[in-house]
Each structure stands twice: as structure tokens, then as C-alpha cells.
Amino acid sequence: MFGHVPEPYHLWDIDHHGANQKNGGICFSNRLRCFLKGVAQLPDLYKCHAAEEFIGWGQVRLGPIQWTTGPLPDNPDDINGLIATPNLPVSKELLVCMPQLMVISAYGVGYDYIDIEAASELGILVTHTPGAVVQATAELGLGLILASIRHIVKQDRAIRHTALQPGSAEFPPPVLSHDASSRIIGLIGYGRIGRRLGSLLHALNIPFVYHRRSGPLDNHRGYRSLPSLLNEADIVVLVTPLTAETYHLIDAEALTQMKATAVLINIGRGACVDEKALIQALMSKQIGGAALDVYENEPQIPPELIGMDNVILSPHAGTQTWETRLSMTEDAVGNVVAALEGHPRNTINSQSWGRRPG
């Protein structure tokens, strides 16, 4: 089939674990076939731009496309493909200045920093990388759940404080927690990440219920209406994208429906929670605590949250693993290449795609 993969196109994702020997040769993954096909077929005409040189960038950058990275050039009118991040938001004003733009890939699963309506009006395809982020984000969610139940961060703070006291020779007084299996986890949002987190909880014998806007899933027990979930769960985990329907989904009213001992965890999008209402609920002890990986006005974090010892703060780290970022880079570049080949994938607005190659 293929002999040697030229060095610039040598990807780490050959059947996800390197070369797979089959019939005495190398069996390449479908993903790599797509890239090699792109190398062979894409004309040396397309100009594409990425917000930065992402992890693994040198391994997936394709020669037939002229890639630039970093801040957008002063005149982006000849760019055909774009990889965007929250640090390179895509507004209608920007899109109007890019008459040759055919495809955008969000670097990640979220795309609320891209004006989808404007892109659709202009016939520009928008894609994202939903598959790449699932495992790492679910793992972080599980970590925050366990840290909240077992007071791991609070215990860390306590032992550091005690150890710094002159003459200290004892551990701080014990703070009893609960077995995780005795708690009920409520997952709000039950897409790929929510279901993966559910499978991790199931493997640890931790019971959970879930809510999704479109109702229960076949063969997935435990569906609850949102009010029922908020009333029942000891740990409420938001795993939702940011849309018009999910903006401030957890507001002051929703917080009143939670248990006084409940903890709110957000690994979805910051603006899905009314941050001011959350701060008030925490200060008044209306709920027991929070663990947040995302914030309403990132990267700003309200000082009230920083000063609370019943709040765990994480710097939007859901996808911050080497493996996940490598996959995100591959998928984002692959989205652009696939669209320019005329075979779009991971699309958000395919029905509005008017600016097509050729």
C-alpha cells in the first residue's frame, strides 16, 4: 500500500497506537488515509490560517496548503480555511473581511466564540472537534466529583496550613466525608462527554441520574426532569454547550432547588451558570460548594469565588492533556482539509455551506 510516510506527514495516529502490522505490512488508520489523500489531491492554491501552532502542529501540517499561524494578517481576504479558538474569536465583522473563506474549524467542541449565524449567511462551513475532547473532559469531571466528595482540596489546604505552624507534630483534625458510592450524581447534559462520564461513574459503582433537553435515551436508565434532578442529586454536574437555551441554565431559581449540601460542578461552559447567583448561593450557604473549570467571563474569576474554601477552581483544563491536544490538532486540521477536498466532517451548519471548493 504505502511504503514510507514522508517526515512532514508522519502522524502519531496510525491506528491510534502506532503502526499496526497486518499481512506483513503496515495497516494505516482511516484518519491517516484521509491526510495522505489530501496530500495527493489538494491543489497548491489554498491558504489557511490557525490561531496558533497547536501541540503536534509540525506533525500534521500539510505542504500543499499554505499555512500561517498566530494573529491574523492585516489583509485576510485570501484565506480559505481557518482554525479558531476563543483567543481568535470569529465575529461577523471579521467574516465580512474574508471573502475567500470556505471553512472554519473550532479548536475544541465548543464554538460559542464563532458567529454561526453570520457564517451561515455568508455560506461558510463551520466545524469542530467533538470526538477528541471526550475522554479528558470526562476524566476531569470525575476528578472534580471525587475531590468534592472526599474534600481532597480542603484537606490539602488544611495540612499545609498545619505544617507551617511552629512545633506542629500532628495532622489537622479529621474531616469526615462520604463514600462516593453513597452519593447521587446528576448529569445535566448527556451527549458524548456526559455519557462517557456516566460510564466512568458506573465503573466505580457511583449512582447517577441525567437530564437532556430532548428527553430520555433508549437503554439509558436514570433520566430525570431538570427540577427532579436538582432536587435529588448530591453533586450536580453541568456538561452542556452554551446555546440560547442553556445560557444561565443554572440561575437563582435553579439553585434554590438544590440540596443545601449539594455541590455544583461545571465542566461545560461558564455562562451556563449565573455566576452572581452562584456566589450569592454559596455565601448564604444555600448550597454546599462548587467546583468550576469554566467561568462566565474567562479568564476573569470573581474574587468572591477565589476566597471561598468550599470552591475548587480549575483553569479551563478539561482538554489539557498531551494526548487530547494532539487529537484536537489533528482533527481541526483534518476538518479544514476534508472540507477543501469537498468531503466535510464534524459540521455545525452544513446545510448553509455555499462557498465550496472548485
Gap between the Cα atoms of 275 and 165, Å rounded: 35
Gap between the Cα atoms of 112 and 242, Å rounded: 6
269, 245 contact by CB (below 8 A):
no
81, 49 contact by CB (below 8 A):
yes
Judge whether 248 counts as a catalytic residue.
no
- Which CATH superfamily does the domain covering 134-313 fall into? NAD(P)-binding Rossmann-like Domain (3.40.50.720)
Q: Single out the residue of 129, 133, 112, 263 nearest to residue 194, CA to CA.
A: 133
What does the pLDDT average to over 171-191? 95
* For the chain, the helix, strand and coil percentages under 3-state DSSP, each to the nearest 5: 35, 15, 50
Question: In angstroms, how far is the first alpha carbon of the chain from the final one?
Answer: 29
348, 116 contact by CB (below 8 A):
yes
Rg (CA), the chain: 23
User: Per-residue pLDDT tens for 4-44?
Assistant: 333 333 333 333 333 333 333 333 344 434 444 444 455 55
User: Per-residue pLDDT tens for 93-117?
Assistant: 999 999 999 999 999 999 999 999 9
Judge whether 7-132+323-352 and 134-313 match in fold.
Answer: yes
Does the pTM surpass 0.75? The reply is yes
* 3-class DSSP assignment, residue 188: strand
Active-site residue identified among 316, 323, 341, 355: 316
What class does CATH assign to 7-132+323-352? Answer: alpha beta
What does the pLDDT average to over 197-224? 96
Look at residue 234 and tell me whether its pLDDT is greater than 70.
yes
What does the pLDDT average to over 277-286? 98
Active-site residue identified among 117, 298, 343, 356: 298
Q: Per residue, what are the HEC states of 40-96?
A: HHCCCCCEEEECCCCCCHHHHCCCCCEEEECCCCCCCCCCCEEEECCCCCECHHHHH
Q: 33-47, 56-70, 75-89: which has the highest mean pLDDT?
A: 75-89
Looking at residue 63, its pLDDT comes to 53
What does the pLDDT average to over 48-58? 93
The phi and psi torsions of 264 (rounded to 5 degrees) equal: -100, 125
Q: Output the nine-digit C-alpha cell for 261.
A: 449540601
Look at residue 167 and tell me whether its pLDDT is greater than 80.
no
Q: Single out the residue of 70, 61, 119, 59 nearest to residue 95, CA to CA.
A: 119
Q: Output the nine-digit C-alpha cell for 286.
A: 444555600
Looking at residue 117, its pLDDT comes to 97
Judge whether 316 counts as a catalytic residue.
yes
Spans of all domains in the chain: 7-132+323-352, 134-313
CB atoms within 10 A of CB 263: 26
Active-site residue identified among 49, 128, 195, 269: 269
- CA distances for 9 relative to 1, 48, 49, 329, angstroms: 16, 17, 18, 13
